[in-house]
Amino acid sequence: MMNGDVVLRLNNVSKSYGAARAVDRLSIDVRKGEVLTLLGPSGCGKSTTMRLVMGLEQCDEGEIIYQGKVVDSAETGVNLPVHKRQMGMVFQSYAIWPHMTVFENVAYPLRVRRVRGEKLREAVERTLDLVGLGGFGDRLAPNLSGGQQQRVALARSLVFEPQILLLDEPFSNLDAHLREQMRAEVRLLQRRLGITVLFVTHDQVEALSLSDRIVVMKAGRAEQIGTPYELYAHPGTAAVRDFLGRTVKLGGRVVEQLQDNRVMIELAQGARVAATAQPGHFSIGQACTAAVRPETLEIVPGLGGAGTLAAKIEMLLFIGDRYEARIGLGERETLLMYLPATDAWREGQEVALRLPERGVQAWPA
């Protein structure tokens, strides 16, 4: 049974190179109109997954279903060629044709599909407008900046109105500023068109900000699938937790079972803190790690009293809108935190960290 809202389904898909499994029994549904992102470190199988979806590789196991049709099946040997899948794609390298004008680059997929004349011109110009390149049609591709070239690639992948857009690290050749700008633009464009996007990145900020849902991948497998908020606030594994953001880890032990899957932890520093047990069950006395996102810690001058941790500002760096501070906690721990740009802070100052009432998680030590 396939829900009509599912545009693309990977069903238990594996792909090996020699003895190494690049993709390992991966199952994913991409729903109509969503941005689904494959996020994970280099080598975890993101691009291999993308190449399987495109049709550049064939599954060793499992099947891929696109718009209700099996396009790749290890069992039956079905493998629909790339050009028959009708998917839009943009990759890290621009791969636009340097000897052609911007117009001709974007027109190419339509010419292949035998679109001609006024209809072609209209479609190309509409798409160039869409990506902010209206009026650039006559330029030769090499005379454009990196960001503009990537927009040409985007226009070329959109011009034939594909049902899905595949983006594999499309911004990673751009500088940080341009990357941020393109990120916002792609999100706006995607919303406007309502197009379904399968996106690949190793950059957690890019994934968090662009995605409706994220698949965190590790060693060819889906470690966890969820919305950016779900994954950030409720990581199912330590790998997901640490890949998606910074974590302050404090040692302690469980001293009490509370309601709602929560436990009371006595920290090595002495303070007690209530935490959500994540994942699984803890017994009284069990050693554990209290994990907190640093932005949920409140830093207060002086001694904070009960429920706070004694800390010290070891280093302060003024970075304009705020301070970047290295905070020493106990004997060995140091954390990087941001402090508001007031003149209340000094290097060497004793401070207290107040733990959030919600948002502390207990993990097995």
Ligand X SMILES: Nc1ncnc2c1ncn2[C@@H]1O[C@H](COP(=O)(O)OP(=O)(O)O)[C@@H](O)[C@H]1O
Which residues of the chain form contacts with ligand X (CB under 6 A)?
17, 20, 22, 40, 42-48
- With CA atoms as reference, report the closest residue to 287 among 251, 246, 314, 244: 251
Q: How far is the CB of 47 from Mg ion (least distance, A)?
A: 3
Inter-residue contact 128 to 106 (CB < 8 Å): yes
**In this complex, which beta carbon is closest to ligand X, that of residue 21 or of residue 85?**
21
In the bound complex, which residue of the shown chain has the CB atom lying closest to Mg ion?
A: 47
CB 262 within 8 A of CB 275: yes
Which 33-72 positions form the footprint of Mg ion (CB under 5 A)? 47
Instruction: State which residue, 47 or 150, has the beta carbon closest to Mg ion.
Output: 47
Write down the least CB distance from residue 190 to ligand X, Å. Answer: 22
Distance of alpha carbon 81 from alpha carbon 56, whole angstroms: 8
Task: Report phi then psi at 359, rounded to 5.
Answer: 105, 0
State which residue, 38 or 309, has the beta carbon closest to Mg ion.
38
Indicate which of ligand X, Mg ion, none lies near residue 17 (CB less than 5 to 8 Å, by partner kind).
ligand X
Of all helices (H) and strands (E), which one includes residue 196?
Answer: strand 196-201
SS3 content of the chain, % helix, strand, coil (to 5): 25, 40, 35
CA distance 43 to 212: 23
What's the rounded Cα separation, in Å, for the pair 75 and 108? Answer: 35
Considering the complex, what minimum distance in angstroms separates the CB of residue 360 from Mg ion? 35
Q: Closest separation between CB of residue 208 and Mg ion, Å?
A: 19
- Closest approach of Cβ 171 to ligand X, in Å? 15
Closer by beta carbon to ligand X, 42 or else 283: 42
Q: Which of 225, 202, 201 is nearest to 214 (CA)?
A: 225
Choice between 185 and 203, CB closer to ligand X: 203
Site string for Mg ion, 270-309 (x = CB under 5 A): ----------------------------------------
201 binds Mg ion (CB under 5 A): no
- Supply the minimum distance, in Å, between the C-beta of residue 163 and ligand X: 23
Of residues 15 and 293, the one with the C-beta less far from Mg ion: 15
3-state secondary structure 288-299: EEEEECHHHCEE
List residues binding Mg ion (CB under 5 A): 47
